[in-house]
Chains A and B, each alone.
Chain A
Amino acid sequence: MNEAFGKAYRFLLIVVLIAAGVLIERTGLVKYLSDPYEVHYTISLIKQHLWMVAVSMTIATVLGLSVGIIFTRPRLKKYAGVIMYIVGLGQTIPSLAVIALAMSFLGIGFRPAIFALLIYSILPIARNTLAGITAVSPWIIDAARGMGMSNARVLFQVEIPNAMKVILTGFRVSLVINIGTAALAFLIGAGGLGEHIFIGIDLMRPDKLLAGAIPTTLLALIADYLCGLLGFLIIPRGLRLQQEV
């Protein structure tokens, strides 16, 4: 049963890949990307896209982590529930709405786009940092205190490493959403791969459209994969082994 399923799965993958290849050739994407000028242009759009993601993600990670850490400190712990609720509420707001609101308050261009992406990306990181640190078992923290660790050391050597897996999941979700939302940033004049997609839709040119859609998808998939690898690097080995058992 398992073997048959595995075979069917691989067969399906190959069929999908071949169909994709045929489609790409048929829509003229190959021809489109053979034009040296267009290749150059697409690469510059990819760079712009990545730059947007990098800037907003860096700020969002710093802010999200700090919010998560600040509201798990004993003195502010009582507000953690409220913050969690607000963050949850924020996450239900559609990304296009956030982008549109950023535009109507801040105008068009790169900065409003960064602002919208940043606001939208903080939420999963803050939420998971809060949840992750709250879930660290009190015995471990007690043990650390008993060993005479200061509050700061408990935070950096016990709480954060133990919560790392959950925090990383938040980062991953946030990054993937960010890459997708950055494609919408074209609408408020920040460029990026959305330029190819939206102009392709407007002109009904599948080649141009796919030249934007495929790199966006690949970026998201690669980012997701890299975050998985990152997990191996920064989640402490003991915790990983514990999870496998």
Chain B
Amino acid sequence: MNVLDFMQKNADRCWLLTWEHIWIVAFSVFLATLIAVPIGIAITRNEQVAKRVINTANILMTIPSIALFGIMLPILSLIGHGLGKVPAVIALVLYSQLPIIRNTYIAIKNVPPELVDAGRGLGMSNWRRLKEVEIPLAIPVIIAGLRTAAVMSIGIAAIAAYIGAGGLGVFIQQGIARVYEEMIIAGAILVAFLAIFVDAGMAILENLVTPKGVKIARKLGQ
């Protein structure tokens, strides 16, 4: 296989680009989580606001990624960051909002009211109830949102190579430009595998953070 040859000869570069790709995605999803989870929790208090916020995130998600890069380019070049990692991270953070906000909102909303009441009956403050009852019960669904966001971000980060963000998209970009087939296939395969691995990894994480009680309840329910 020529592709394997290519990967072997350029192993250093493969690792470097993969690492860069992972780093961009991890950083963006982390930032997005910091923003979206509090928003998702906050909007559970008011349904009207929740609708608006989720709709806005939905519209953001509808914008094609390469078009968003294009639209941001003239705006961000005002501060000297039209190309490179900054617009890529901003776009990934924006795209990750919808899955994370929506999942957080749905998860917190779906916590059984009797459990919330029980927490209140134990004399828990709002904050403690959130920390010890609502979030632990909601966390598997929130992680599922992160999983969607991460997998999507890996795909979009590949396109970001065209605005100079680096990552595995560079192989595809340069491969297409040079009609270097092995390079294209190596890039495509590495990105695809990265996405599949991250998807599987997050699925395991989802399982790990599910509270024991919830798992037992699920089994009993069957």
- Mark A residues whose CB is within 8 Å of B: 1-2, 5-6, 9, 23, 26-27, 89, 92-98, 100-101, 103-104, 176, 179-181, 183-184, 187-188, 194, 197-198, 200-201, 206, 209-210, 212-214, 216-217, 220-221, 224
- List the 3 closest pairs (A to B, CB-CB), nearest first: A180-B64, A213-B70, A94-B155
Give the B interface residue count (CB, 8 A).
43
In the bound complex, do residue B74 and residue A217 qualify as a contact, i.e. CB atoms below 8 Å apart?
no
With A92-B151, A96-B191, A176-B62 given, can you name 4 additional A-B contacts, CB distance below 8 Å?
A: A5-B48, A197-B70, A201-B73, A212-B70
In the bound complex, do residue A97 and residue B176 qualify as a contact, i.e. CB atoms below 8 Å apart?
no
Give the chain B neighbours of A184 by CB distance below 8 A.
66, 159
Which of A183, A200, A221 sits near B59, CB closer than 8 Å?
A: A221
CA distance A103 to B156 in the complex (A): 19
CA distance A26 to B77 in the complex (A): 13
In the bound complex, do residue A101 and residue B67 qualify as a contact, i.e. CB atoms below 8 Å apart?
no
CA distance A98 to B158 in the complex (A): 11
In the bound complex, do residue A97 and residue B74 qualify as a contact, i.e. CB atoms below 8 Å apart?
no
Name A3's closest neighbour in chain B (CB-CB): B48
In the bound complex, do residue A103 and residue B63 qualify as a contact, i.e. CB atoms below 8 Å apart?
no
Instruction: Say whether chain B's binding surface is mostly helix, strand, loop, or mixed.
Output: helix
Closest beta carbon of chain B to A98's beta carbon, Å = 8
Instruction: Say whether chain A's binding surface is mostly helix, strand, loop, or mixed.
Output: helix
Give the chain A neighbours of B184 by CB distance below 8 A.
100-101, 103-104
Give the chain A neighbours of B188 by CB distance below 8 A.
96-98, 100-101, 104
CA distance A224 to B159 in the complex (A): 22
In the bound complex, do residue A217 and residue B158 qualify as a contact, i.e. CB atoms below 8 Å apart?
no
CB contacts under 8 Å to A, within B162-176, are 162-163, 169, 172, 175-176
In the bound complex, do residue B67 and residue A183 qualify as a contact, i.e. CB atoms below 8 Å apart?
yes
In the bound complex, do residue A210 and residue B158 qualify as a contact, i.e. CB atoms below 8 Å apart?
no
Give the chain A neighbours of B68 by CB distance below 8 A.
213, 217
